[in-house]
Amino acid sequence: MSGQTMKVAVNPLPWVLSDGRFQLSRTVLVDALADLREVGFRALHAQVPDDMTVVGYRQTLADYGFVPAPGYFSEHFADVGSGAEVLERARRAAEVHLELGLSEMFIASEMATERMARPAVGHLPDHERLRRLTDGIVAAAEVMQSEGVTAALHSHVGSWVETEEEIRAVLDWSEGSALAFGPDTGHLFWGGADPGRLIKAYATRVACVHIKDVDAAAAATARERRDNYQDATSVRHVWTEPGRGDVDLDAVIAALEGFDGWAVLEVDVPNLPSRVESARAGLSYFEANPAFDVIAS
């Protein structure tokens, strides 16, 4: 794979979700940075804790030898569409990313209660809702673009953009708009898509990517037993570290030929015994593959 080097970062979700709830504070951030620095990462998924300023956040990252990498913005686009409040939040998210020196970020439909209860099966599909959702995401992406940030569609199991059909619909309906593509290999696979094939189909729109793997047997068991999202991920351990599951990551890398943007390791709930072991396994995967540059410059 000539001329391709993706910049590697890590999402500290195993620290943020340490007790099953999303808790991000300066204390959690510093704990994650200290551990991840020892592992060997030098770039972090960007999200400013509520008890920090943007300037303070960036300085804290620098103090630990880190640079920021693309973060994540989600809303209930199907409900609120392109409402003024949503667009203002999108604008502010883009402004924060610009202050951090970033020009891309992931954008997603917020989790839906109905699909959290029945994940990865395309529960309660609705064409008109998906149309409204697409309009809202595109409007937010256009606002972000006006601020100098590219918004990249991130599908998510448990959201209204979950299945391959839904992902393709949003990308096809939004073709020619400000919306790019930010595939997550794990969510694509668990949602029923072939990640390599789908990424290849929209490769020219890829702006950033999340790398995770999936234990297909665990996912099948979760589906058979009708696990909700929490049980499937935290009890069944659907997610696993790259190279330890069933996603064809070689096909993903081939589909990303020529892409030199950010590849963010994201193992929401570690499959290995500890979050440090999980991060170390992820780093080892990247280090063994010449398509990735672990040290961000």
Strands 150-153 and 180-181: parallel
The candidate with the shortest Cα–Cα distance to 246, out of 195, 183, 174, 203, is: 195
Task: List beta partners, residue 264.
Answer: 9, 210
* Per-residue confidence (pLDDT) for residue 21, from 0 to 100: 86
Write out the DSSP string of 114-145: HHHHSTTTT-S--HHHHHHHHHHHHHHHHHHH
Calculate the CA 85 to chain-centre distance: 23
Q: What is the pLDDT of residue 82?
A: 56
Cβ contacts of residue 224 below 8 Å, gap of 6+? Answer: none
Give the global pTM.
0.97
Ordered per-residue pLDDT tens for the chain, 297 residues = 445 799 999 999 999 997 778 999 999 999 999 999 999 999 999 999 999 999 999 999 999 999 999 999 999 998 755 588 999 999 999 999 999 999 999 999 999 999 999 999 999 999 999 999 999 999 999 999 999 999 999 999 999 999 999 999 999 999 999 999 999 999 999 999 999 999 999 999 999 999 999 999 999 999 999 999 999 999 999 999 999 999 999 999 999 999 999 999 999 999 999 999 999 999 999 999 999 999 744
How many CB atoms neighbour CB 131 within 10 A?
14
Residue extents of the structural domains in the chain? 6-293
What is 6-293's CATH number, 3.90.650.10, 3.20.20.150, 3.40.50.410, 3.90.1150.10? 3.20.20.150
Compute the distance between CA of residue 124 and CA of residue 141 in angstroms, rounded to an integer: 26
Check: CB of residue 41 under 8 Å from CB of residue 284.
Answer: no
C-alpha distances out from residue 234 to 20, 63, 246, Å: 8, 32, 18
State residue 20's pLDDT score: 75
Please give the pLDDT value at position 162: 99
H helices of the chain, in order, are: 13-16, 26-39, 54-63, 77-80, 84-99, 113-117, 127-146, 164-173, 185-190, 195-201, 216-224, 229-230, 249-255, 275-287
Predicted pLDDT of residue 80 = 58
